Structure 1
Amino acid sequence: MKVIAYLERTRLWNQAVSDALRAWSWFVRHPWHRLWDESAGCGVMECCPNPPELRWVLDVVVAVLPPNDARKLRKQIEALDEQW
């Protein structure tokens, strides 16, 4: 949690990790997720998330977490990625 808090405070935004994980989970489960178009939508994460941005946040978090924690998060993300 310390690593995530530091990352959010210095490089991202408050609750960035939980926001990105929640938005990615919603996005891949949404039946219209394959229709994502960068030029369409409002860009608000809760409404029209940007998949590359969400994945970037999640990849950064995995890169800075201790190995055991990174492995656990990576498994969660991989399960979601299978739906993409």
Structure 2
Amino acid sequence: MSEALWTWSWFVRHPWHRLWDPTTGCGVMECCPNPPELRWILDAAVAVLPSRDSRTFRRKIAALDELW
């Protein structure tokens, strides 16, 4: 979960994130992340967290989503 959050944060802050193409890349999350897959992992984590932690985590993700 923390790896997915870190990768999503890195990805949306990277200046080339808008150039993502699902047909290219190496498939390694830390190098060429797949945004829909990352969001799925983060959404799955939110679903299993206790409600208080879930709200906090959702706020962090929402702030990053604004950059996307």
TM-score range, shorter chain: over 0.9
1:32 aligns with 2:16: yes
Superposed CA RMSD:
0.5
Residue 68 of structure 1: aligned partner: 52
The count of corresponding residues between Structure 1 and Structure 2 is 68
C-alpha displacement at 1:18, in angstroms? 1.0
Give the counterpart of 1:44 among 28, 50, 60: 28
Give every structure 1 segment of 4 or more consecutive aligned residues whose post-TM-superposition deviation is greater than 2 Å: none
Which has more radius of gyration?
1
Q: Point out where structure 1 has 5 or more consecutive residues left out of the alignment.
A: 1-16
Bigger RCO (CA 8 Å, 6+ sep): 2
Percent sequence identity over aligned pairs:
72
TM-score by length of 1: 0.79
Counterpart amino acid of 1:27? F
C-alpha displacement at 1:65, in angstroms? 0.8
Counterpart amino acid of 2:26? C
TM-score by length of 2: 0.97
Q: Point out where structure 2 has 5 or more consecutive residues left out of the alignment.
A: none
